[in-house]
Amino acid sequence: MTDEITSTLGRYIATEILKDPGRQLADDEPLISSGLVDSFSLVDLALFVESTFGVHIDDTELSAQVFDSLRGLAQLVRGRLPPVA
Partner 1 sequence: MNTLPQILLRSFQEVPDRVAVHLLEDDADTPVSFRRLVERAAGFSLALTEAGVRPGEVVVLILQHGEALVASFFGAMMLGAIPSIMPFLTEKLSPEHYRRSLAALVEITRPAAIITYADFAGEVRSAIPPGSSVRAVLLSERIAPALSVDGGGFPGLDRSPAEICLLQHSSGTTGLQKGVALSHEAVLNQIECYARVIGMTAADTVVSWLPLYHDMGLIAGFLMPILRRAPLVLMSPFEWVRAPWKLLRAVSDHHGTLSWLPNFAYNFCATKIRDRELEGIDLSSWRAVINCSEPMRLSSHEAFLRRFNPCGLRPESLATCYAMAENVFAVSQGGIEAPVSVDRVDTRSLIVDRIARPAQEDGDALPMLSAGRPIPNSRVRILDDQRRDLPERHVGEIAIHSDCMLTGYFNRDDLTAKAFHQGWYLTGDLGYLAGGEVYITGRKKDMIIVGGKNIYPQDLEELAGQASGVHPGRVVAFGVFNDQMGTEDVVVVAEAGLADEGERRRIADDIRGRINRGSDVVLRYVKIVEPRWLLKTSSGKIARAANREKYLADDKAERQPSG
Which residues lie near partner 1 (CB under 8 A)? 19, 22-23, 32-36, 38-40, 42-44, 47, 50, 59-60, 62-64
Task: Report CA-CA distances (Å) from 33 to 42, 45, 64.
Answer: 12, 15, 6
Closer by beta carbon to partner 1, 39 or else 83: 39
The beta strands (E) that lie in 1-85 are given as none
Q: Side-chain half-sphere of 50: how many Cα atoms within 13 Å?
A: 10
Residue 9 and residue 71 in contact, taking contact as beta carbons nearer than 8 Å:
no
Closer by beta carbon to partner 1, 24 or else 85: 24
Closer by beta carbon to partner 1, 2 or else 34: 34
Q: How far is the CB of 26 from partner 1 (least distance, A)?
A: 11
